[in-house]
Structure 1
Amino acid sequence: MTEAGPRVVPAGFVRAHTQVRRPSLVPEVRLHVADDVVALWEAMEVAAGGAGEAPPFWAAAWPGGQALARAVLDGAVPVGGRRVLDLGSGSGLVAIAAVLAGARHVLASDVDPFSRTAVGVNAGLNGVTGISVTGDVLDREPPAVDVVLAGDVCYDREMTERVLPFLDRARARGCEVLVGDPGRPYLPHERLEPVLALDVPETEGPGLRRTTVWRLP
């Protein structure tokens, strides 16, 4: 029996169940996001033929990604002419920002097939090319890139325990590694060097979240 390939989500699903918005901190970029996350999640489960889908993390501009994208666009994290991995790409915001900032090529990685489709849809929305999309890379050797950008990847203990060894391997191979995070407790801040800190509007409700772009030394 032939093993089934990766599930492909139709681009029309993303367009039909989201609205186009500009992230507060990165107005240069437009994204398909969800105003009603619960309704989107239910639609994802129907499309997949039952419950069990992961939450639609891809349908929001999370603070760590916004801070990373802003740092890339403003030149605080130089990517011009470099090969970039956007780890846990989600909506593709950081990948798109890297292309706009002159990256030679961007590889956008996410385990969620809905995210992988959303990255392509959002790249098209912004008229950018040069982004390739792949699935989970955490248990592999890091791809041939110069810079790893990881926004909001340490959101729980289990994911952090998978992400950190991958980032260490990438750094050991000479990659520049940067992480965007709004103060989550699982990120080992003592191992990192701050690059910049920004106040990012909350994605869920009013207020601001102090969000830092960190470098793995």
Structure 2
Amino acid sequence: MSDIDRAAFIRANTAPEAPALVPELTLLTASEITPLWQATEATLAAKDLPPPFWAFPWAGGQAVARHVLDHPELVRGARVLDFAAGSGLIAIAAAKAGAAAVMAVEIDAYAIAAIGLNARLNGVAVTAVERDVVGQPLTDIDVVLVGDVCYEKPMAERVMAWLRALAGDGLVILMGDPGRTYLPKDGLVPLATYRVPTTLELEDRTHRDSVVWRVEA
């Protein structure tokens, strides 16, 4: 499927909506996850596709976006990477807060298309890159922003080891987490906590208390 077709699919299956904790921004958002997932599989005639994480503003990402908008000095003039960017919410917030350059990385081609659409919707420039960057040095990045990556053990362990290494290289690493199972117990400094309204379509409760952490080496 081409980038044009992906963009058309996203527009047809989402609607502009402001995230609950970040009303200044607008994202193309799906109302339900299962029908969209099924529609994606039907469109591609494929099974076992990843969930459409790009179609929803997740609690951890909303917390980081809120924190960056409230504390623009964290990213102002910096080269920022939004890791596992999903909808691009955090990247867009960083661009709005005055980052010098913003890159959003994802391994899902639909997410890359969604990031481009959402960036344009909010009038900001974000470079969306489809690549697995875990384990790689980031010599052209100053700040890494991450939302909600500790929900599966293998991923959490792999990503956290990499983030700690980047912190050891002198990068600023901020991560939002709403209490996921595989969040590490140490090496994290809490910066702020946000109560994020959520939907039972995505979570098992109507609110999540999401902490923004600074990851240490």
TM-score by length of 1: 0.92
Extract structure 1 runs of 4+ deviating beyond 4 A: 6-9
Corresponding residue SS for 2:186: helix
Structure 2: distance between partners of 1:130 and 1:35: 25
Corresponding residue SS for 1:10: helix
2:198–2:207: 8 Å Cα contact kept in structure 1?
Answer: yes
Question: Is 1:73 equivalent to 2:69 in the alignment?
Answer: yes
Q: CA deviation at 1:77?
A: 6.3
Q: CA deviation at 1:190?
A: 2.0
Matches for 1:50-89 after TM superposition, within 5 Å = 50-75=46-71, 78-89=74-85
Q: Cα gap change, 1:189/1:7 in structure 2, threshold over 3 Å: closer, same or farther?
A: farther
| Deviates further, 150-159 or 203-212 | 203-212
Q: CA deviation at 1:140?
A: 2.4
Matches for 1:184-203 after TM superposition, within 5 Å = 184-203=180-199
Task: Give unpaired runs (5+ residues) of structure 1.
Answer: 1-5
Partner deviation per Cα, 1:39-85 (whole Å, 9 max, x = no partner): 11111112222212101111110010000000000017610000011
1:192–1:216: 8 Å Cα contact kept in structure 2?
Answer: yes
Structure 1: distance between partners of 2:23 and 2:93: 11
Matches for 1:30-41 after TM superposition, within 5 Å = 30-41=26-37
Structure 1: distance between partners of 2:2 and 2:80: 25
Partner deviation per Cα, 1:100-136 (whole Å, 9 max, x = no partner): 0000111101111111110001001111114343322
Structure 2: distance between partners of 1:11 and 1:150: 24
Give the letter aligned to residue 199 of structure 2. T
Aligned residues: 212
1:142–1:169: 8 Å Cα contact kept in structure 2?
Answer: no
CA RMSD of aligned residues (A): 1.8
TM-score by length of 2: 0.92
Q: CA deviation at 1:7?
A: 7.3
User: Which of 8, 17, 38 pairs up with 1:12?
Assistant: 8
1:63–1:203: 8 Å Cα contact kept in structure 2?
Answer: no
1:153 aligns with 149
Structure 1: distance between partners of 2:99 and 2:175: 17
- % identical aligned pairs: 45
